[in-house]
Amino acid sequence: MTATTLVLIGRVVFGAFFLIAGIRNFRHFGERLEILTNYGWKLPAPIMAVGFAVQLLGGLALIFGIWTVPAAVALILFLVAATPLYHNLFMFQGKERDPHLYLTLVNITLAAGLLLVIADAS
Protein backbone atom coordinates (compact mmCIF):
# COMPACT_ATOMS: atom_id res chain seq x y z
CA MET A 1 0.00 0.00 0.00
CA THR A 2 1.19 3.50 -0.72
CA ALA A 3 1.59 6.19 1.93
CA THR A 4 -1.27 8.12 0.32
CA THR A 5 -3.60 5.13 0.66
CA LEU A 6 -2.59 4.58 4.28
CA VAL A 7 -3.18 8.25 5.12
CA LEU A 8 -6.60 8.10 3.46
CA ILE A 9 -7.59 4.97 5.38
CA GLY A 10 -6.32 6.46 8.63
CA ARG A 11 -8.17 9.74 8.07
CA VAL A 12 -11.43 7.91 7.29
CA VAL A 13 -11.15 5.72 10.39
CA PHE A 14 -10.24 8.75 12.49
CA GLY A 15 -13.18 10.70 11.09
CA ALA A 16 -15.52 7.77 11.72
CA PHE A 17 -14.54 7.80 15.40
CA PHE A 18 -15.73 11.41 15.78
CA LEU A 19 -18.75 10.94 13.49
CA ILE A 20 -19.97 7.99 15.57
CA ALA A 21 -19.38 9.91 18.80
CA GLY A 22 -21.33 12.91 17.46
CA ILE A 23 -24.24 10.76 16.29
CA ARG A 24 -24.40 8.91 19.61
CA ASN A 25 -24.24 12.14 21.58
CA PHE A 26 -27.08 13.71 19.58
CA ARG A 27 -29.17 10.50 19.83
CA HIS A 28 -28.81 10.64 23.62
CA PHE A 29 -28.85 14.42 23.90
CA GLY A 30 -31.30 14.55 26.82
CA GLU A 31 -29.19 12.11 28.82
CA ARG A 32 -25.99 14.01 27.99
CA LEU A 33 -27.52 17.23 29.32
CA GLU A 34 -27.89 15.59 32.73
CA ILE A 35 -24.22 14.68 33.05
CA LEU A 36 -22.41 16.88 35.54
CA THR A 37 -18.96 18.22 34.82
CA ASN A 38 -16.22 17.29 37.28
CA TYR A 39 -16.98 20.64 38.93
CA GLY A 40 -20.59 19.70 39.75
CA TRP A 41 -22.51 21.75 37.16
CA LYS A 42 -24.17 20.97 33.85
CA LEU A 43 -23.19 22.56 30.56
CA PRO A 44 -25.99 24.53 28.88
CA ALA A 45 -27.74 22.75 26.00
CA PRO A 46 -26.47 25.15 23.29
CA ILE A 47 -22.84 24.56 24.33
CA MET A 48 -23.37 20.80 24.36
CA ALA A 49 -24.98 21.00 20.92
CA VAL A 50 -22.03 22.95 19.53
CA GLY A 51 -19.59 20.38 20.93
CA PHE A 52 -21.52 17.48 19.46
CA ALA A 53 -21.83 19.30 16.11
CA VAL A 54 -18.05 19.76 16.07
CA GLN A 55 -17.66 16.01 16.58
CA LEU A 56 -20.17 15.13 13.87
CA LEU A 57 -19.14 17.71 11.25
CA GLY A 58 -15.44 17.37 12.02
CA GLY A 59 -15.71 13.62 11.57
CA LEU A 60 -17.49 14.03 8.24
CA ALA A 61 -14.87 16.55 7.07
CA LEU A 62 -12.07 14.11 7.87
CA ILE A 63 -13.87 11.23 6.15
CA PHE A 64 -14.46 13.20 2.96
CA GLY A 65 -11.19 15.15 3.04
CA ILE A 66 -12.98 18.51 3.05
CA TRP A 67 -11.61 21.34 5.20
CA THR A 68 -9.44 18.84 7.04
CA VAL A 69 -7.23 21.44 8.74
CA PRO A 70 -10.09 23.56 10.17
CA ALA A 71 -11.92 20.36 11.13
CA ALA A 72 -8.86 18.96 12.90
CA VAL A 73 -8.28 22.27 14.71
CA ALA A 74 -11.94 22.38 15.81
CA LEU A 75 -11.73 18.79 17.07
CA ILE A 76 -8.52 19.57 18.98
CA LEU A 77 -10.25 22.57 20.59
CA PHE A 78 -13.19 20.33 21.47
CA LEU A 79 -10.84 17.83 23.14
CA VAL A 80 -8.98 20.61 24.98
CA ALA A 81 -12.29 21.91 26.37
CA ALA A 82 -13.98 18.58 27.12
CA THR A 83 -11.04 16.87 28.82
CA PRO A 84 -10.71 19.13 31.89
CA LEU A 85 -14.51 19.44 32.17
CA TYR A 86 -15.22 15.70 32.26
CA HIS A 87 -11.91 13.95 32.88
CA ASN A 88 -9.94 16.18 35.22
CA LEU A 89 -7.74 13.48 36.71
CA PHE A 90 -6.32 15.90 39.29
CA MET A 91 -9.68 16.02 41.05
CA PHE A 92 -9.65 12.31 41.90
CA GLN A 93 -7.62 9.95 44.05
CA GLY A 94 -6.89 6.23 43.93
CA LYS A 95 -9.14 4.01 41.84
CA GLU A 96 -11.50 6.92 41.09
CA ARG A 97 -8.66 8.54 39.13
CA ASP A 98 -8.03 5.54 36.85
CA PRO A 99 -10.79 6.09 34.25
CA HIS A 100 -10.02 9.81 34.11
CA LEU A 101 -6.32 9.16 33.60
CA TYR A 102 -7.11 6.71 30.81
CA LEU A 103 -9.58 9.03 29.06
CA THR A 104 -7.21 12.00 29.41
CA LEU A 105 -4.49 9.94 27.72
CA VAL A 106 -6.95 8.88 24.99
CA ASN A 107 -7.88 12.52 24.34
CA ILE A 108 -4.23 13.58 24.25
CA THR A 109 -3.54 10.78 21.77
CA LEU A 110 -6.52 11.83 19.63
CA ALA A 111 -5.23 15.42 19.60
CA ALA A 112 -1.78 14.17 18.57
CA GLY A 113 -3.33 12.17 15.74
CA LEU A 114 -5.20 15.28 14.60
CA LEU A 115 -1.88 17.12 14.52
CA LEU A 116 -0.68 14.43 12.12
CA VAL A 117 -3.77 15.02 9.96
CA ILE A 118 -2.91 18.73 9.89
CA ALA A 119 0.72 18.01 9.03
CA ASP A 120 -0.33 15.73 6.15
CA ALA A 121 -2.78 18.32 4.77
CA SER A 122 -0.24 21.15 4.90
* Nearest by Cα to 85 from 30, 25, 41: 41
Total domains in the fold of the chain: 1
The residue-averaged pLDDT of 31-58 equals 95
Helix ranges (H only) for 1-122 are 3-27, 29-33, 45-64, 68-86, 94-121
State the pLDDT at residue 100: 87
The residue-averaged pLDDT of 12-39 equals 95
Domain extent for 84:
3-121
State the pLDDT at residue 122: 77
Read off the pTM. Answer: 0.91
